Amino acid sequence: ASDVYKRQDEVPPQEPAPLTPIEPGALAEPRAAKFLGIGARTLFDLRKANKGPKFVRIGKSIRYPVHLLREWLTEQAEGGAS
C-alpha cells in the first residue's frame, strides 16, 4: 500500500468549508415585499401613504433595512400604528 504522501505528518488537502449565505442588510422593494409576504404594489402603496415600514433612499433606489422590516412586522402583529 504505497502512500501518495511522503511524510507521515502530511495530510491530504481538505475540501473548503461550504459558504454560508449572508443575510443582506437591506432589501430592494420587490424582495422586501416578498420578505413581508405582501405584493410589491402593496408595499409601494404603503410607502406612498407613509404607512409602511421605514426605508432608506440611496440615490434613486429605495432600500428596506431588514431589521426595520422585522420591527414593522412586530408592530403590526401587536396592533401598532394604524
Residue-wise pLDDT for 38-56, tens only, equals: 999 999 999 999 999 999 9
Percent with pLDDT over 90 in the chain: 62
Longest dimension (CA), the chain: 75
**pLDDT value at position 14?**
74
Let me know: does 65 contact 26? Beta carbons within 8 Å.
yes
Task: Report the sign of the C-alpha dihedral through residues 22, 67, 63, 38, in that order.
Answer: positive
Between CA 36 and CA 72 the distance in angstroms is: 9
